[in-house]
Amino acid sequence: MTAPLTPPPPNDNPWQAPPPPGPAYAAPGDPDLRSELRDGLLVASAVTVLGIALGLLWLWLAPRVPLISDGEAVFLKNTEGEAAVGADGVFALLALGFGTLSGAAVYFLRRRGGIVLVIALALGGLLASVLAWRLGVWLGPTSDVAAHAKEVGRGVTFDAPLKLGAKGMLLAWPLAAVLVHLVLTALLTPRDPDPEPAPLPDWSPQDK
């Protein structure tokens, strides 16, 4: 009767070279990592530039807040108006639209992208929103209300400065872009097949 076969002892040699990096590991000089970083930089830059279009559209579509001066103070001409809130709403809707389009465009143009592109998309969307906000304010009516009222004269209606009251609207673009990209990735990207399980060794006694 022979003793059952036993598995070979593990290799405990501390001087053995480590196994080569697998596909899930990317060294700092790995060309795939460099390619992902380059694509991420391009995505962040391109999305940021789109903020100019958002700023111009916001300036064009945002409702105006009419002001009037009596020579001493400046008042809202329509005290029941909701134009100030409407400017925030217009910015949010436009940002959501730009976020949806940019998220879909990045997915269809860079299907193989991973977490680097998602981060670049979010960062670019945030920078684009800030750029659009500041551009709209800069190109809109002057923020020096007192000087503007003095310039136009008493009893003359003029527009209030364009403002973004709720700064949380700046997150509409990056959130929409990332959400759309992740949804498209989950729905349209084919899953990798599950690896076949390795065959188990036969430890049953062997008769000679």
Name the residue ranges covered by the structural domains of the chain: 33-64+82-141+170-186
The dihedral over CA atoms of 184, 187, 188, 190, expressed in degrees to the nearest 10, equals 130
* pTM across the whole model: 0.72
* Cβ-proximal residues to 70 (8 Å cutoff; 6+ apart), any chain: 154, 155
Alpha helices, H only, 110-201: 115-139, 145-152, 172-188
Closest C-alpha to 149, from 84, 73, 83: 73
Q: Lay out the sheet containing 66-69: strands in order across.
A: 74-76, 66-69, 158-159
The whole-angstrom distance between residue 41's C-alpha and the CA centroid of its chain comes to 13
In the prediction, which pLDDT does 10 show? 52
Whole-number Cα distances in Å, 27 to 24, 35, 39, 40: 10, 13, 17, 17
In the prediction, which pLDDT does 66 show? 74
Structure confidence by residue, pLDDT tens digits, 183-193: 998 888 776 66
Tally of residues, the chain: 208
In the prediction, which pLDDT does 25 show? 43
Query: Read out DSSP for 24-68?
Result: T---TT-HHHHHHHHHHHHHHHHHHHTHHHHHHHHHHHSPP-EEE
Q: Which residues of 15-54 are buried (b: 16+ CB within 10 A; e: fewer)?
A: eeeeeeeeeeeeeeeeeeeeebeebbebbbebbbebbeeb
Question: Low-confidence residues of the chain, pLDDT below 70?
Answer: 1-31, 70-84, 112-113, 144-146, 148-156, 158, 191-208
In the prediction, which pLDDT does 149 show? 67
